[in-house]
Homo-oligomer: A and B are copies of this chain.
Amino acid sequence: MDVRVCFVGDSFVAGVGDPGHLGWTGRVAVRTPFPLTRYVLGVRRETSAQVARRWRAECGPRLPAGSRNAVVLSFGVNDTTLEDGRPRVRPQESVATLDGVLREVPWPVLVVGPPAVDDEAQNERSAVLDAGFARVCAAAGVAYVPVLEHLRADAVWRREVRDGDGAHPAAAGYERLARLVEPAWRGFVHRLADG
């Protein structure tokens, strides 16, 4: 059984800030009870629009015919960052972009929502995305893992983010995020392996 998963998204997917260099993707992978080829394709500062432009070119060579392939998507926080007083991407565009990607990805997909940062106004904007992402995932029959409200209320996550760069946690925070993703991940990856 040859399971390969591309994790595509932003700096949280890349695990920025984790001195253990696993991030949440490595933490869920380590606890997956069979070998898994994990391709981490998170890029710092990228918005939904930027991820949408590269997922195909980067996942293609990594997910060949003959292996059991899947994609995990996670982006959105950078969309809600203000530039000149406006979000980098308008929420309805972020949601439409995810919807478009879901229509095109030829592999099973799991979507993980945007995490919380140390800025409540930005978290409020991310909450709008979170709701929109949940809606388009439901309509597409794709599992969606909301993490924003859990992490907003998580003292460990909030402290590490605040002590860090205001956006990224350290090891314990990534462990919290991994635990939030894990139930959905387990179901997803087992269906992939058994399918």
With an 8 A cutoff between CB atoms, is A97 at the interface?
A: no
Residue among A15, A17, A19 with the highest chain B CB neighbour number at 10 A: A19
Given known A22-B21, A26-B22, A30-B21, contact A14–B43 (CB-CB < 8 A): no
With an 8 A cutoff between CB atoms, is A154 at the interface?
A: no
| A30 touching B40, Cβ below 8 Å | no
| A61 touching B37, Cβ below 8 Å | no
Residue among A26, A43, A61 with the highest chain B CB neighbour number at 10 A: A61
| B39 touching A61, Cβ below 8 Å | no
Within 8 A of B (CB), among A6-39: 14-17, 19-22, 26, 29-30, 35, 37-39
Q: Chain copies in the assembly?
A: 2
Interface residues on chain A, number (Cβ under 8 Å):
28
| A30 touching B19, Cβ below 8 Å | yes
Given known A57-B57, A61-B46, contact A14–B39 (CB-CB < 8 A): yes
| A75 → chain B closest CB, angstroms | 13
A positions within 8 Å CB-CB of B: 4, 14-17, 19-22, 26, 29-30, 35, 37-40, 43-46, 50, 54, 57-58, 61-62, 64
10 contacting pairs across A/B (C-beta < 8 A): A14-B37, A14-B39, A17-B35, A21-B29, A21-B30, A22-B22, A37-B44, A40-B40, A43-B62, A50-B61
A sample of 10 more A-B contacts (CB under 8 A), given A21-B29, A22-B26, A54-B61, is A4-B44, A15-B38, A22-B22, A39-B40, A39-B43, A43-B62, A45-B64, A46-B61, A57-B57, A58-B58
